[in-house]
């Protein structure tokens, strides 16, 4: 089916972008991975810029769904924060991968303006959600020492991202754990 190929391309591209960066994979790589000729990829995604937009769009929707799901399955602010941290931790995949947002942030140069805007919206969405998490944790007492949920949220995302970057550069997930200990020790 048509949709399958397109999804397979997105899956392959996302994995490649997260492990090797947006400039770290080519249409030739996707071609080999998905099993369709290089030129045929252009049928689904005319340019690499268009591919990047599609990737970021899907990623935004995915993460929004993740946050919604966490709200449903975890009741306290502390449990929700833990779930978010776990999500970023598992995205590391043993120190070989990043979340797409971090990966794209590092490839700014090669991305169209539209993706930059998408990244901005993505970050706002995550930070806004995180603020509700800290506010809940403040209210229900599941996160210690919350003075200002907005300040906490504005720091939490960059911390998670910086921790991912540090852990991947040395392929050592323990660096992620030690970086986010400042959060986990309060739970």
Partner DNA sequence: AAATGCCTACCTAGTAGTAGGACGATTTCT
Partner DNA sequence: AGAAATCGTCCTACTACTAGGTAGGCATTT
- Among 105, 112, 114, 187, interactor with a copy of itself by CB under 8 A: 105
Question: Could you tell which of DNA, a copy of itself, none binds residue 43, using a CB distance below 5 to 8 A set by kind?
Answer: DNA
Interacting stretch for a copy of itself, rule CB under 8 A, among 46-54, 61-69, 85-93, 99-107? 99-107
**Cα distance between the two ends of the chain:** 47
- State which residue, 40 or 76, has the beta carbon closest to DNA: 40
Let me know if 171 is exposed, middle or buried by CB neighbors in 10 A (0-12, 13-18, 19+): exposed
* Binding of residue 20 to DNA (CB under 7 A): no
Those residues with Cβ within 8 angstroms of residue 184's Cβ, 6 or more apart along the chain or in another chain: 82, 85, 177
* Binding of residue 147 to DNA (CB under 7 A): no
CA distance 117 to 8: 25
**Inter-CA distances, 53 with 1, 39, 96, 177, Å:** 22, 19, 23, 31
Question: Could you tell which of DNA, a copy of itself, none binds residue 133, using a CB distance below 5 to 8 A set by kind?
Answer: none
Give the orientation angle of helix 113-140 with respect to helix 48-73, to 10 degrees. 10
DSSP letter at 59? H
Question: Could you tell which of DNA, a copy of itself, none binds residue 108, using a CB distance below 5 to 8 A set by kind?
Answer: a copy of itself
* Binding of residue 107 to DNA (CB under 7 A): no
DSSP letter at 40? H
Q: Residue 24 Cβ, how far from DNA at the closest point, in Å?
A: 9
- List binders of DNA among 40-69 (CB under 7 A): 40, 42-44, 46-49
- State which residue, 22 or 129, has the beta carbon closest to DNA: 22
* Binding of residue 37 to DNA (CB under 7 A): yes
Tell me the per-residue interface mask from 156 to 185 with a copy of itself, x by CB under 8 A, - otherwise.
Answer: -xxxxxxx-xx-xxx-------xxxxxx-x
- State which residue, 23 or 68, has the beta carbon closest to a copy of itself: 23
Collapsing DSSP states into helix, strand and coil, what is residue 141?
coil
Question: Which residue, 52, 61, 45, is CA-closest to 24?
Answer: 52
Residues that bind DNA (CB under 7 A): 2-3, 5, 25-29, 36-40, 42-44, 46-49
């Amino acid at each position: 089916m048509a949709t399958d190929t397109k999804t397979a391309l997105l899956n392959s591209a996302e994995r490649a972008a997260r492990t090797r960066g947006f400039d770290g994979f080519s249409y030739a790589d996707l071609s080999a991975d998905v099993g369709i000729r290089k030129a045929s990829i252009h049928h689904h995604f005319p340019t690499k810029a268009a591919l990047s937009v599609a990737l970021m769009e899907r990623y935004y929707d995915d993460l929004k769904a993740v946050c919604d799901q966490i709200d449903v399955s975890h009741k306290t602010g502390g449990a929700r924060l833990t779930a978010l941290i776990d999500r970023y931790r598992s995205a590391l995949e043993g120190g070989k991968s990043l979340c797409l947002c971090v990966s794209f942030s590092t490839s700014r140069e090669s991305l169209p303006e539209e993706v930059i805007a998408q990244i901005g919206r993505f970050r706002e969405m995550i930070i806004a959600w995180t603020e509700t998490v800290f506010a809940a944790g403040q209210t229900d007492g599941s996160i210690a020492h919350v003075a200002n949920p907005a300040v906490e949220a504005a720091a939490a995302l960059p911390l998670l991202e910086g921790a991912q970057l540090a852990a991947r550069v040395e392929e050592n997930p323990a660096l992620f754990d030690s970086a986010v200990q400042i959060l986990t020790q309060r739970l």
